[in-house]
Structure 1
Amino acid sequence: MAEIAKGRVMDPTTEELSEVKANLKKERRQVMIRRILSNKMAVTGSIIILISVVISLLSPLLVSYTPFEMNPANRLQLQVQIIILEQIRLEEMYLPVLYMVSKRQC
């Protein structure tokens, strides 16, 4: 800061000026953070946005396929898998018993 020496005002050095500027920036930042944290709506909105961003970044880990692998025409079709579990004997014929297993629950 400016010093008074022998009745004259001395010019502040660049180090002192940079120190004052740094302190002002720090104080402004602290005031801004306090103002934002005191506003409940701003904090709630920031948390919601942060959660949305985290989920969108982790979305490739949450799904097993990419959007380009999905076939929109067959998306509502029920996928059925037929499994032959056993054969039964009716008079001289062997007939397989078929079980249909749905991969999607209704």
Structure 2
Amino acid sequence: MITVSISRNSKNNKIMEFEISGHAGYDEYGRDIVCSAISILAQTAVIGLLEYVRIDCTYEIKDGYLYCKLPQHCSEQEQVKIDSILETMVLGIENIKNGYGSYVSIEYKEV
């Protein structure tokens, strides 16, 4: 199962970090559409943060694991872009969970 953890700021509900771990087990390695879909959404979000918004976020990507932590202070313009990217990622992951619920778990935390 893939576990997705989204941590939000308790004051403004902004995503502060996210972590994705595990493998869906929907199909064999290299053919698992659930793992692939979640990985594409999360990695594209990180690329968007780095290349489009140009923020210095902390991240780690390896097989079956992705972690991303946002900087504590961003400009208002950066925050709008960050929110757009990350909330779209969350919508995509939630949509995949709706179709493949036994392969994806999402937990929300307040920090």
TM bin, normalised by shorter chain, reads under 0.3
Q: Computing the radius of gyration over CA atoms, which structure comes out larger, 1 or 2?
A: 1
Going by fraction, where is helix more abundant, 1 or 2? 1
Q: Which one has the bigger strand percentage? A: 2
